[in-house]
């Protein structure tokens, strides 16, 4: 990299205005594709995951654009097609949902940024179980291949939930079996990641770092991992049974063989509701880091945020019935599930309040990640509150399976999770690649995403309350305006993402060299080089609080933020005294 | 602070043992990481089976009579034999851990082999049970069709006018779907365990394990115990409760 200078100043606080990156880092240490494919380095695995989930995001996005385009005009009885037949429309929304959920949003943040950042935030050299980590990546790829098989063999039209009876009443359908297999395998990839994270956080914390000294991102990943390990096996067995019942024609869920389709829904949501917290908890973790870093203020309510993650994970296990209020489940069960669902809003709100309190009197720096951070607060607010509308049983009868539900979960999944994903990518991009992205284009794209997103989904709330059902290729004329606004919004959102991919790739070649700590953040990964060494740190990082921003001082654009000399000195003396 | 403890460690510990992976500080940390990982995996296994146990509970609740009639198809004596076999294998598995800790190489090889043999014996009995059921047509779903003379004697004794046709219309196929899914999945776990025990045996032959490094033997034994425990539940639920 820059100039090929090997040495770096021993004392990070010394040295002039130039930052000299490592000549040999994790990227160029070993060469060749073969080396990447069997690497045990968590950073390389994280990067490969990042590439893979981004590919999934773009693929899922393509289907979204197609289905929104179909909805641009109402379609008439004589001419129902705008761009595609009704059959293809069904396939579009199924593939959109399935790709986005299983390939992008569930592995998204933990497998990419979690993999890369988690060991570094602990000052560790790797995850505790590197081989398990590699296996998880390979399982992800195998799962993806099965999904691509679904595409190649002509798609699937059951909706992403793969419910029977949509998925039954026909001969064995290869694409369906492929989809079940894909999700089954991806589930194990997810379990292995979660298991590895828990072990790493328990066993590889450095001396001097208790659980409460971990960055909140790690608490969020911890809660996520608990869900991954405990909920995912249930979808595994559900889909495993589904495969078996299709192949051997036995009735577990399939009604035509005497099975119980509602039991499938129970099993499915027993996983898939917790799974929405697999999606959103890591996003909340990224969010906590972004908000604190760019307010330059110790995060407000550390323990409250940490424990609310655990509370969300725990309560998340007992609310699945809110997806089934109209499935014929007993009213008593409905009332209990409704109550429990209200409960889950409390820890969610605790987080939002704490972020807002962190902003209060902070010195806010509107860098690109922070714009995503602010988007998140607002969009998660809307998404979470509309969840409560849906959680009250009487409302739900009216709103179930309408665009209101669509808008609700896109507010949380796209509004929150995609925002945090993009925010996290920008936050850690300098660390991962050693390059700065263009701040100007970053902000432009962030604003596109925000505006496009709101335009795409706010009208859907209105359309939903007026009775527009989900999953229809055509609609009554009165809904035209909502659908058209929504489609334009989707295009804007897509444009924002395309701009991003462009300038991020551009920065890889033309971007400025990033300093080790461009933001003045205080968790341990910022004490490594950009990009880091193969073993993460060339010298043991100084363990300190993740939000002790006062330990850092700004030197210059090239050097970024460095640890204050007195901090380094005190630590050295302390270490000697201890000895 | 961190540097202090580290200096300390480097003084008391000899050079890095060859079994120590690069990202761990010492074998103790490595051992316990593996172990925690295994416990989490076992938690995952339990929930994986939970889906089947729930399905069992639901169908049992909905078809009490069917489960009553059909449990006579399963020979409790064979089930009991298999239970004993598995319990013995759990003993030898635990014993192998002790041998590894004490560096008793022959003992380790013998106990590993015994565990493997018991697992094999279990599968042999399973094989006979399965083939008998396939032979008389006591199979899953719509394929269930058992001639009345093939019905279990105990069933006919109590319900002399029971016929194979009646059972079929009552949905006996569902019982056997559950039976084959549960014991089949368990059987797959046994087979996987047998594979891993071969691997352990080879490593033990090569002398890989010692008193500071025996995590693999320990963790596989843990896995083996869970496979055993699941059977301990399957046996009464399927064979004994009428
Ligand atoms: C305050 C928290 C939340 C509450 C109270 C809540 C409540 C609900 C309810 C009651 C439904 C069922 C609507 C229906 O189908 O009739 C629902 C659907 C959904 N929610 Fe949420 N939710 C919350 C947060 C989240 C989060 C954080 C996510 C994802 C990151 C999410 C994702 C979804 C999805 C994907 C669906 C619909 C799935 C489908 O039917 O295809 N929700 N939510
Ligand atoms: Cu839910």
Kindly report the protein residue whose alpha carbon is nearest to atom 2 of ligand 1.
A384
Which has the closest alpha carbon to A123: A426, A526, A428, A560? A526
B219 inside 8 A of chain A by CB: no
Q: What is the pLDDT of residue A81?
A: 82
Interface test with B, best of A40, A207, A265, A572 (most B CBs within 10 A): A207
Q: Which ligand is nearest to the Cα of residue A94, counting in written order?
A: 1
Place of tokens 């570094």: A120
**Cβ of A207 and B54 within 8 Å?**
no
B2 inside 8 A of chain A by CB: yes
Q: Which of residues 68-97 of B touch A (CB under 8 A)?
A: none
Q: Are A320 and A262 in contact (CB under 8 A)?
A: no
Residue of A nearest to B39 (CA): A195
Place of tokens 């790829």: A141
Total of domains in chain B: 1
How does residue B18 score in pLDDT terms, banded at 50, 70 and 90?
confident
B71 within some domain: yes
Within 8 A by CB and 6+ apart from B100, the residues are B108, B204, B209, B210, B211, B214, B217, B218
Q: What is the pLDDT of residue A4?
A: 38
A229: chain B residues, CB-CB within 8 Å: 40, 43-44
B136 within some domain: yes
B19 burial via Cβ count (<10 Å: 0-12, 13-18, 19+) = middle
Kindly report the protein residue whose alpha carbon is nearest to atom 19 of ligand 1.
A409
**Ligand 1: distance of its center to the CA of A407 in Å?**
10
Residue of B nearest to A536 (CA): B23
Q: Is the pLDDT of residue B6 over 80?
A: no
For residue A323, give the ligand 1 atom closest to its CA. 12
Within 8 A by CB and 6+ apart from A452, the residues are A489, A490, A491, A492, A493, A494, A495, A496
Q: What is the pLDDT of residue A76?
A: 76
Q: Is the pLDDT of residue B241 over 90?
A: no
Q: Is the pLDDT of residue B5 over 50?
A: no
Buried b / exposed e over A383-411, threshold 16 CB at 10 Å, is bbebbbbbbbbebbeebbebbbbbbbbbb
Q: What is the pLDDT of residue A16?
A: 66
A7 burial via Cβ count (<10 Å: 0-12, 13-18, 19+) = exposed
Within 8 A by CB and 6+ apart from A186, the residues are A102, A103, A106, A107, A139, A140, A143, A144
Q: What is the pLDDT of residue A366?
A: 94
Within 8 A by CB and 6+ apart from A505, the residues are none
All structural domains of chain A: 35-578 (1.20.210.10)
Residue B154 corresponds to which tokens in the numbers above?
């105990």
**Cβ of B23 and A206 within 8 Å?**
no
CB of A278 closer than 6 A to ligand 1?
no
Q: What is the pLDDT of residue A567?
A: 87
**Cβ of A233 and B44 within 8 Å?**
yes
**Cβ of A575 and B181 within 8 Å?**
no
**Cβ of B1 and A543 within 8 Å?**
yes
Q: What is the pLDDT of residue A227?
A: 96
Interface ipTM: 0.90
> CB-hemisphere CA count at 13 Å for A371?
19
Q: Angle A300-A305-A309 (CA atoms, 0-180°, nearest 5)?
A: 170
Within 8 A by CB and 6+ apart from B50, the residues are A233, A234, A237
B169 inside 8 A of chain A by CB: no
CB of A396 closer than 6 A to ligand 1?
yes
User: Residue A387 to residues A160, A220, A381: CA-CA distances in angstroms?
Assistant: 20, 21, 10
pLDDT tens across the length of chain A (579 residues): 333 344 444 444 455 678 889 989 999 888 888 889 999 999 999 999 999 999 999 999 999 999 999 999 988 777 778 888 888 999 999 999 999 999 999 999 999 999 999 999 999 999 999 999 999 999 999 999 999 999 999 888 889 999 887 766 556 688 899 999 999 999 999 999 999 999 999 999 998 899 999 999 999 999 999 999 999 999 999 999 999 988 888 888 988 888 889 999 999 999 999 999 999 999 999 999 999 999 999 999 999 999 999 999 999 999 999 999 999 889 999 999 999 999 999 999 999 999 999 999 999 999 999 999 999 999 999 999 999 999 999 999 999 999 999 999 999 999 999 999 999 999 999 999 999 999 999 999 999 999 999 999 999 999 999 999 999 999 999 999 999 999 999 999 999 999 999 999 999 999 999 999 999 999 999 999 999 999 999 988 999 889 999 999 999 888 899 999 888 888 878 777 766
- Residue A250: which of B7, B33, B177 has the nearest Cβ? B177
Q: What is the pLDDT of residue A165?
A: 72
B6 within some domain: no
CATH number for the domain spanning B203: value is 1.20.120.80
How does residue B109 score in pLDDT terms, banded at 50, 70 and 90?
very high
Interface test with B, best of A132, A191, A233, A234 (most B CBs within 10 A): A233
**Cβ of B54 and A579 within 8 Å?**
no
Q: Is the pLDDT of residue B22 over 50?
A: yes
Residue B211 CB neighbour total at 10 angstroms: 9
Place of tokens 């608490």: A219
Kindly report the protein residue whose alpha carbon is nearest to atom 42 of ligand 1.
A409
Interface size, chain A vs chain B, as Cβ–Cβ contacts under 8 Å: 134
Q: Which residues are registered as beta bridge partners of B6?
A: none
Write a three-state SS string for A261-309: HHHHHHHHHHHHHHHHHHHHHHHHHHHHHHHHHHHCCCCCCHHHHHHHH
B171 inside 8 A of chain A by CB: yes
Helix (H) / strand (E) element for B154: namely helix B153-158
Q: What is the pLDDT of residue B174?
A: 87
Q: Are B179 and B55 in contact (CB under 8 A)?
A: no
Q: Which ligand is nearest to the Cα of residue A109, counting in written order?
A: 1
Kindly report the protein residue whose alpha carbon is nearest to atom 40 of ligand 1.
A323
**Ligand 2: distance of its center to the CA of A533 in Å?**
42
**Ligand 1: distance of its center to the CA of A166 in Å?**
21
Residue of A nearest to B28 (CA): A203
CB of A279 closer than 6 A to ligand 1?
yes
**Ligand 1: distance of its center to the CA of A99 in Å?**
18
**Cβ of A579 and B21 within 8 Å?**
no
Radius of gyration of chain B (CA): 23
B242 inside 8 A of chain A by CB: no
B12 within some domain: no
Q: What is the pLDDT of residue A179?
A: 94
CB of A280 closer than 6 A to ligand 1?
yes
A317 backbone φψ class: left, alpha, beta (φ>0; ψ -120 to 50): alpha
Rounded Cα–Cα distance for residues A335 and A339 (Å): 6
Q: Is the pLDDT of residue B2 over 60?
A: no
B16 within some domain: no
Q: Which ligand is nearest to the Cα of residue A97, counting in written order?
A: 1
B207 burial via Cβ count (<10 Å: 0-12, 13-18, 19+) = exposed
pTM of the model: 0.92
Average pLDDT, chain B: 90
For residue A338, give the ligand 1 atom closest to its CA. 10
Place of tokens 């073993």: A535
- Residue B36: which of A199, A207, A233 has the nearest Cβ? A199
DSSP A77-113: SS---SSS-HHHHHHHHHHHHHIIIIIIITTHHIIII
Describe chain A by its helix, strand, coil percentages, rounded to 5: 65, 5, 30
Residue of B nearest to A184 (CA): B48
Q: Is the pLDDT of residue B14 over 70?
A: no
Rounded Cα–Cα distance for residues A506 and A483 (Å): 34
CB of A412 closer than 6 A to ligand 1?
yes
Residue of A nearest to B35 (CA): A199
Q: Report the pLDDT averaged over residues B119-140.
A: 94
Question: Could you tell me the residue range of the domain that residue B113 belongs to?
Answer: 28-240
B22 within some domain: no
């Amino acid at each position: 990299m820059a100039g090929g200078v090997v040495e770096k100043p021993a004392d990070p606080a010394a040295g002039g205005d130039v930052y000299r990156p490592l000549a040999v880092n994790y990227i160029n240490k070993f060469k060749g594709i073969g080396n990447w494919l069997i690497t045990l380095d968590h950073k390389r695995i994280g990067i490969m995951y990042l590439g893979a989930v981004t590919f999934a995001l773009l693929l899922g996005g393509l289907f979204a654009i197609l289905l929104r385009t179909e909805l641009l005009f109402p379609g008439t009885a004589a001419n129902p097609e705008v761009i595609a037949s009704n059959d293809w429309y069904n396939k579009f929304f199924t593939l959109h949902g399935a790709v986005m959920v299983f390939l992008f949003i569930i592995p998204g943040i933990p497998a990419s940024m979690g993999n890369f950042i988690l060991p570094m935030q602990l000052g560790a050299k790797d995850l505790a179980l590197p081989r398990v980590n590699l296996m998880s990546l390979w399982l992800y790829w195998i799962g993806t291949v099965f999904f691509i098989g679904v595409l190649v063999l002509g798609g699937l039209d059951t909706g992403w939930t793969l419910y029977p009876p949509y998925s039954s009443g026909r001969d064995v359908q290869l694409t369906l079996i492929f989809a079940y297999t894909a999700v089954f395998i991806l589930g194990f990839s997810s379990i292995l990641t979660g298991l590895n994270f828990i072990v790493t956080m328990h066993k590889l914390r450095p001396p001097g770092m208790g659980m409460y000294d971990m960055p909140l991102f790690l608490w969020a990943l911890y809660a996520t991992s608990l869900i991954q390990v405990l909920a995912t096996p249930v979808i595994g067995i559900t889909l495993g049974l589904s495969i078996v019942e299709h192949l051997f024609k036995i009735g577990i869920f399939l009604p035509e063989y005497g099975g119980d389709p509602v039991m499938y829904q129970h099993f499915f949501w027993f996983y898939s509701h917790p799974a929405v917290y697999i999606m959103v908890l890591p996003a909340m973790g990224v969010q906590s880091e972004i908000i604190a870093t760019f307010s330059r203020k110790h995060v407000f309510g550390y323990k409250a945020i940490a424990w609310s993650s655990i509370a969300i994970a725990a309560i998340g296990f007992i609310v699945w019935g809110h997806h089934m209020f109209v499935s014929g489940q007993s009213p008593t069960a409905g009332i209990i599930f409704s109550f429990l669902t209200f409960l889950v809003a409390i820890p969610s709100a605790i987080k939002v309040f704490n972020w807002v309190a962190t902003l209060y009197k902070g010195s806010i720096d509107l860098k690109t990640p922070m714009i995503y951070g602010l988007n998140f607060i607002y969009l998660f607010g809307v998404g979470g509150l509309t969840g409560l509308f849906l959680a009250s049983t009487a409302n739900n009868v009216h709103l179930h399976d309408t665009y209101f539900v669509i808008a609700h979960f896109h507010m949380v999944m796209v509004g929150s999770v995609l925002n945090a994903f993009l925010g996290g990518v920008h936050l850690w991009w300098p660390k991962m690649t050693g390059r700065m992205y263009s701040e100007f284009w970053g902000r432009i794209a962030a604003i596109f995403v925000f505006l496009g997103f709101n335009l795409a989904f706010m009208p859907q709330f209105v359309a939903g309350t007026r009775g527009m059902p989900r999953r229809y290729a055509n609609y009554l004329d009165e809904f035209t305006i909502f659908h058209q606004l929504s489609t334009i919004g989707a295009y804007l959102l897509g444009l924002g993402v395309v701009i991003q991919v462009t300038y991020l790739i551009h920065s890889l070649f033309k971007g400025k060299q990033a300093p080790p700590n461009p933001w003045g953040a205080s968790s341990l990964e910022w004490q490594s080089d950009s990009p880091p060494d193969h073993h993460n740190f060339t010298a043991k990082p100084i363990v300190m609080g993740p939000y002790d921003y006062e330990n850092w001082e700004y030197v210059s654009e090239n050097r970024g933020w460095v640890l204050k000399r007195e901090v380094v000195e005190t630590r050295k003396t302390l270490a000697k005294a201890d000895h | 602070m961190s540097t202090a403890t580290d200096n300390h460690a480097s003084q008391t510990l000899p050079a890095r043992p060859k079994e120590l992976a690069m990202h761990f500080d010492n074998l103790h940390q490595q051992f316990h990481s593996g172990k925690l990982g295994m416990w989490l995996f076992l938690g995952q296994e339990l929930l994986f089976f939970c889906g089947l146990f729930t399905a069992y509970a639901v169908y049992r609740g909905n078809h009490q009579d069917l489960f009553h009639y059909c449990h006579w198809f399963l020979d409790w004596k064979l089930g009991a034999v298999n239970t004993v076999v598995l319990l013995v294998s759990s003993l030898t598995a635990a014993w192998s851990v002790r041998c590894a800790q004490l560096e008793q190489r022959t003992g380790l090889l013998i106990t590993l082999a015994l565990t493997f043999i018991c697992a094999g014996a279990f599968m042999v009995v399973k094989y006979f049970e399965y083939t008998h059921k396939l032979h008389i047509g006591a199979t899953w779903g719509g394929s269930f069709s058992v001639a009345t003379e093939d019905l279990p004697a105990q069933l006919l004794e109590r319900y002399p006018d029971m016929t194979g046709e009646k059972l079929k219309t009552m949905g006996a196929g569902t019982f056997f779907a559950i039976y084959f899914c549960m014991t089949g999945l368990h059987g797959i776990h046994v087979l996987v365990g047998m594979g891993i025990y071969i691997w352990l045996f080879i490593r033990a032959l090569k002398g890989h394990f010692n008193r500071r490094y025996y995590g693999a033997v320990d963790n596989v034994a843990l896995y083996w115990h869970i496979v055993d425990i699941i059977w301990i539940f399957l046996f009464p639920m399927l064979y004994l409760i009428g």
